[in-house]
């Protein structure tokens, strides 16, 4: 993508951070897709907790599943920040589709781009950019925040590894065909025995288990994975055996910015809905947005959204610039998840009784926001990361 001079976009009354002309055009194209193709499907997908497969193919056709992937591998060759814009715009309409694209780009593709060897990139990146959904399999029943307590084991069998164990809370689990999966190949070495593997759905001994019935992001599949002596070729080790802990930590640092983008998208959708409704709802002979109490709430919501957006954008720009962004990513995820939950909750209250029923959009924004404080590192884990970094910098 060419480098254009930055310009400030004004849209829906909200000033956004400086975007290049290319970034503005990209944002507009994703927004058009979200409004035209995604919005009509949101209610049905949420009600039935099922991702429309037609949307999956459209995401591939629009190039949304390989945004950072180099052009030589069939991707767009764009920046990490561009992927963040896509996740935000999609999540403004439906956070389930936002995280579908987010996991593909910020976790799966990024892991292969950064840690894959030449042959792995040549084999998997074109597939991930054009037709095959990816998923990231780290969590287990006994290893959530303590991810390195994993019990999934990989046994060296000469020309392949035999992996056995169970993974939980795997986003895109139903749709995915390629998994970046973690197992311990040397338990005696603790976390230094962990390895990352590229596992295909078709491998012997691999199966997808239960799909979770969730509060929010219901159209996004969250499943368990079952590995029973799953045979994985040695050439599918991502990085080196013993480097898995590093692959997971560094990939999740980037992924947290993606979740921040999902959260500001949710917050934007909720605030825009609240602004529209309070301008239409009449009480005591005038729109309720003419009452100072309502105006103050809207102002607080807009301020929190803008702060969250700037934190997310800043972390993404730092990542693209090759700067150390770990603290900023943790702060962005922490603050944006809190902002999304607060803004969507206030939107429900501004709708009154209508906000509590599914005929109106704001209750879904609130349900979708709750996951932001949980996955890809809980809020407490973000606070721990931030504290260590600010204390260590003294």
The two tokens of residue 202 are 């078709």
Both tokens assigned to 63? 């190039």
DSSP secondary structure code for residue 143 in this structure = B
**CB burial of residue 370 (10 Å; 0-12, 13-18, 19+):** middle
Say whether 180 sits in a helix, a strand or coil: strand
Helices (H) and strands (E) in the chain, counts: 12, 12
Query: Percent helix, strand, coil in the chain (nearest 5)?
Result: 60, 20, 25
**Residue pair 208/179 in contact by the 8 Å Cβ criterion:** no
- List the Cα angle 355/359/364 in 5-degree steps: 60
Beta strands in the chain (DSSP E): 6-11, 14-20, 134-137, 153-156, 160-171, 178-184, 194-200, 206-211, 222-233, 237-238, 282-283, 286-287
Q: Can you tell me the distance from the alpha carbon of 286 to that of 94, in angstroms, rounded to the nearest whole number?
A: 32
Which of 60, 70, 76 has the alpha carbon at shortest distance from 128? 60
Question: Is 212 a residue of the active site?
Answer: no
Distance from C-alpha of 334 to C-alpha of 256, rounded to nearest angstrom: 9
d(CA 356, CA 226): 38
Catalytic one among 23, 68, 175, 376? 376
Among candidates 267, 231, 285, 283, which has minimal Cα distance to 346?
267
Helical packing angle, 326-351 and 362-369, nearest 10°: 150
| Token output for 121 | 């990139």
CA distance 309 to 63: 24
| Residues annotated as part of the active site | 376
């Amino acid at each position: 993508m060419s480098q254009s001079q930055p310009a400030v976009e004004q849209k829906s009354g909200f000033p956004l951070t400086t975007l290049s002309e290319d970034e503005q055009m990209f944002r507009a194209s994703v927004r058009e897709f979200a409004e035209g193709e995604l919005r009509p499907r949101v209610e049905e997908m949420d009600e039935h907790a099922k991702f429309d497969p037609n949307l999956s193919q459209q995401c591939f056709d629009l190039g949304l599943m390989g945004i950072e992937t180099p052009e030589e591998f069939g991707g767009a060759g764009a920046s990490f920040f561009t992927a963040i814009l896509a996740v935000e715009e999609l999540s403004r309409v439906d956070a389930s589709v936002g995280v579908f694209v987010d996991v593909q780009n910020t976790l799966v593709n990024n892991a292969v781009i950064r840690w894959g060897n030449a042959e792995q990139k040549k084999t998997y990146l074109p597939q991930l950019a054009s037709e095959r959904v990816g998923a990231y399999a780290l969590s287990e029943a006994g290893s959530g925040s303590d991810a390195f307590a994993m019990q999934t084991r990989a046994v060296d069998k000469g020309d392949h590894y035999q992996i056995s164990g169970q993974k939980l809370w795997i986003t895109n689990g139903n749709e995915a065909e390629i998994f970046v999966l973690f197992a311990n190949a040397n338990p005696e070495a603790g976390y230094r025995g962990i390895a990352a593997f590229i596992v295909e759905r078709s491998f012997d001994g691999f199966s997808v288990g239960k799909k979770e019935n969730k509060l929010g992001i219901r159209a996004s599949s969250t499943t368990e994975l079952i590995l029973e002596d799953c045979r994985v070729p040695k050439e599918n080790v991502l990085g080196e055996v013993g480097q898995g802990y590093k692959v997971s930590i560094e990939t999740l640092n980037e992924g947290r910015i993606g979740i921040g983008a999902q959260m500001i998208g949710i917050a934007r959708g909720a605030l825009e809905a609240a602004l529209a409704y309070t301008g239409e709802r009449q009480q005591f002979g005038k729109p309720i947005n003419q009452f100072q109490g309502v105006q103050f709430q809207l102002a607080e919501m807009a301020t929190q959204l803008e702060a969250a957006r700037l934190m997310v954008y800043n972390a993404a720009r730092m990542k693209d610039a090759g700067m150390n962004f770990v603290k900023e990513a943790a702060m962005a995820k922490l603050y944006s998840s809190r902002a999304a939950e607060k803004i969507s909750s206030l939107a429900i209250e501004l709708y009154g009784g209508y906000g509590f029923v599914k005929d109106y959009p704001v209750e879904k924004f609130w349900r979708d926001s709750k996951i932001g404080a949980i996955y890809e590192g809980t809020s407490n884990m973000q606070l721990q990361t931030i504290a260590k970094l600010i204390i260590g910098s003294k």
